[in-house]
Amino acid sequence: MGNNNTNNQSGGQEEVSIETTQVGGLALYTVRDAMTEDAKATLKTVAETGYKNIEAAGYNNGTYYNMSPTDFSTYVTSLGLNPISTHQSSVTLENAETEMAHAKAAGFEYFVVPIPPMGLFNYDGATNTMSMTGGAKNLAEILDTLGKKASAAGLKLLYHNHDFEFKKDEEGIVPIDYLLENCNPDHVNFQMDLFWVTKAGADPLAYFEKYPGRFKSWHVKDMDQEGKFAPVGKGTIDFGRILAEKEKSGMKYYLVEQDRTFTMEPLEAIKVSHEGIKKIGFE
């Protein structure tokens, strides 16, 4: 494990020799630049580093990292990787059936809405802050509609949080609370990003207690003393405390993610995080 092999072989079964002791999951957004440069070689390195499950963040015009859904599925499974979830920020009420059919063909189980879709997400680069327009009720209705479409497609829909959903909006509503209380749990559940929950000043355990079973997936990313992204195990978040409540949360899968790695190359950072998850006790 940890071999930084960057060859671009086709990945046929006969030429792949990945260790079978793969554990944990990785959000491929962490290595997005490498995936753009050479997706197949990067995926091979991810597998060799020891990750088992992956989450895509590279859907574009019917392809995943410029591979058809079936080609993507064939390649990643040849490496021993499980395509667990995909972030689909481009989903709309009009294209949902098409995007979900592609996600299903690629072998994904979870279809993740990573931000308020359909132009509702706002990012202010000057202040490095995120927000949304349209209100929580509007977003809940959109997610319920998408969730029903996902269920019909044989997928499970999750909404992924940042920090702004945990803060009261101009109507005095905490968006994440509204979504949890009003979205139909038969069709809509959640991917909790542990960094952003912490950044917002909220406690993951309080949400597990109040809304048990709703957080089917976690993004595991650490925070340094300055509040910046850090490799798992190299920051200040007490993951052991959170992991102890895995069953209550409903978590089925977790994905290591580090949005920015600063002075460390992403392919090196994922190795550090992989060692971190093992030490913490993630399986």
Residue 1 lies in a domain: no
223, part of any domain? yes
* pLDDT confidence tier of residue 48, bands split at 50, 70 and 90: very high
Is 4 part of a structural domain of the chain? Answer: no
Q: Which has the closest alpha carbon to 261: 32, 101, 71, 23?
A: 32
Q: What is the pLDDT of residues 220-267, one digit of tens each?
A: 999 999 999 999 999 999 999 999 999 999 999 999 999 999 999 999
For position 4, what pLDDT does the model report? 35
Radius of gyration of the chain (CA): 18
pLDDT at 111: 99
Return phi, psi of residue 20, to 5°: -90, 0
At residue 45, the pLDDT reads 98
Residue 215 banded pLDDT, cuts 50, 70, 90:
very high
Q: 59-115 pLDDT, tens per residue?
A: 999 999 999 999 999 999 999 999 999 999 999 999 999 999 999 999 999 999 999
pTM of the model: 0.93
**Is residue 237 one of the residues assigned to a domain?**
yes
For range 147-174, the mean pLDDT: 98
Residue 5 lies in a domain: no
- CATH at 246: 3.20.20.150
Average pLDDT over residues 139-166: 98
Query: What is the rounded CA–CA span in Å between residue 37 and residue 33?
Result: 6
Strand partners, 229: 223
Return the pLDDT at 93.
98
Which of 98, 94, 100, 138 shows the shortest CA–CA distance to 116? 138
CA of 83: how far to CAs of 29, 34, 79, 104, 253, in Å?
Answer: 14, 18, 11, 10, 11
Domain residues for the domain of 106 are 13-280
Q: Please report which residue ranges of the chain form alpha helices under DSSP H.
A: 32-37, 39-49, 69-78, 96-105, 135-152, 175-182, 194-199, 204-210, 239-243, 246-249, 266-280
* Residue 195 located in a structural domain: yes
Per-residue confidence (pLDDT) for residue 197, from 0 to 100 = 98
Residue 6 lies inside a defined structural domain of this protein? no
151 found inside a domain: yes
Q: How confident is the model over 150-159, as a mean pLDDT? A: 98
- The arithmetic mean of pLDDT across residues 29-37, rounded, is 98
pLDDT band, residue 6 (cuts 50/70/90): very low
pLDDT at 9 over 90: no
DSSP states of 176-233:
HHHHHHHS-TTTEEEEEEHHHHHHTT--HHHHHHHSTT-EEEEEE-EE-TTS-EE-TT
Judge whether residue 10 has pLDDT over 50.
no
How is residue 251 written in tokens?
């978590």
- Domain count within the chain: 1
Encode pLDDT of 185-205 as tens digits.
999 999 999 999 999 999 999
Residue 146 has pLDDT above 50, yes or no: yes
Chain mean pLDDT for the chain: 94
Q: Which residue has the tokens 């009420």?
A: 93
> What pLDDT, on the 0 to 100 scale, is given for residue 65?
98
pLDDT of residue 21: 77
Rounded average pLDDT over 106-131:
97
